[in-house]
Amino acid sequence: MSATETTPEITDSHCHLDFPDFEGQLDDIVARACRAGVTRMVTICTRLRNEPAVRAIAEAHPPVFYAAGTHPMSAATEPMATVEELTVLSKHPKFVGIGETGLDYHYTADSAEVQKQSLRIHIQAAQTTGLPLIVHARAADDDMARILSEEYRNAPYSCVMHCFSSSAELARAALDLGFYLSMSGIAAFPKSQDLRNIFAAAPLDRILVETDAPYLAPPPHRGKRNEPAYTAHTARKGAEVFGIDYSEFAAQTQANFDRLFAKVVRFRAAA
């Protein structure tokens, strides 16, 4: 890219800037992201007791927005969230999503029933607030598809399957409900061709990109700490998957993000 060309803008739709990996470095982290074209970031609170610290990060950094919920792997050890609690938190102007929530039976199958209860509470909060649900799914495809569908029949809501790396069947179930799939660094790993095929079969207007930083850094940074700037590497792989120019893929994922996270657009318009 020549110096006269503008770097396409993209959004890191899911990162964890409150994690110790970034302590004392957030100014530099955000600045590097912006230089890479990552002009917006959604930092995710995974335990509601940490919400004040995550909120403070969003308040201190104009490109950063936030969401909050109880991660499924913590559902059994954290106080159960309530719809009322999540609804109150959602009043903050930079609070833009509910979660992450979901089901994870890979390491924490013993808490499956508590996870299901927590997931349904978060879905109800998304239905109540109109904010998108942010879902973590691992080794729980059947239960996940069933609960998402059951609750959608009760009342529609919007949703992103964050860091999607599950089956083609769960992808189709989510897409059939009008939900979005978010592409993380996993999709750029050399051995992830099956996952890339799932994304390639999805509608382009239903794709987001993310880092899940500090985890899952894409090549050429694999094995190192991930950070929002590296969303650009995943997005370039995404452009390859869909067979389009990077600028076109970036513009489409921006439009997708704006559609799903409409509160971000409203906040910026009012600023």
Give binding residues for a divalent metal cation as ranges. Answer: 14, 16, 100, 136, 162, 212
Task: State the number of CA atoms in the 13 A half-sphere of 233 facing the CB.
Answer: 19
- Neighbouring residues of 63: CB distance < 8 A, sequence distance ≥ 6: 30, 33, 34, 39, 40, 41
Q: Supply the DSSP symbol for 212.
A: -
* Contact call for residues 148 and 177 (beta carbons, < 8 A): yes
- Taking the C-alpha atoms of residue 237 and residue 235, their distance in angstroms, rounded to an integer, is 5
Q: Supply the DSSP symbol for 177.
A: T
Helix%, strand%, coil% for the chain, nearest 5: 50, 15, 30
- Taking the C-alpha atoms of residue 131 and residue 263, their distance in angstroms, rounded to an integer, is 8
As annotated, the binding site includes 14, 16, 100, 136, 162, 212
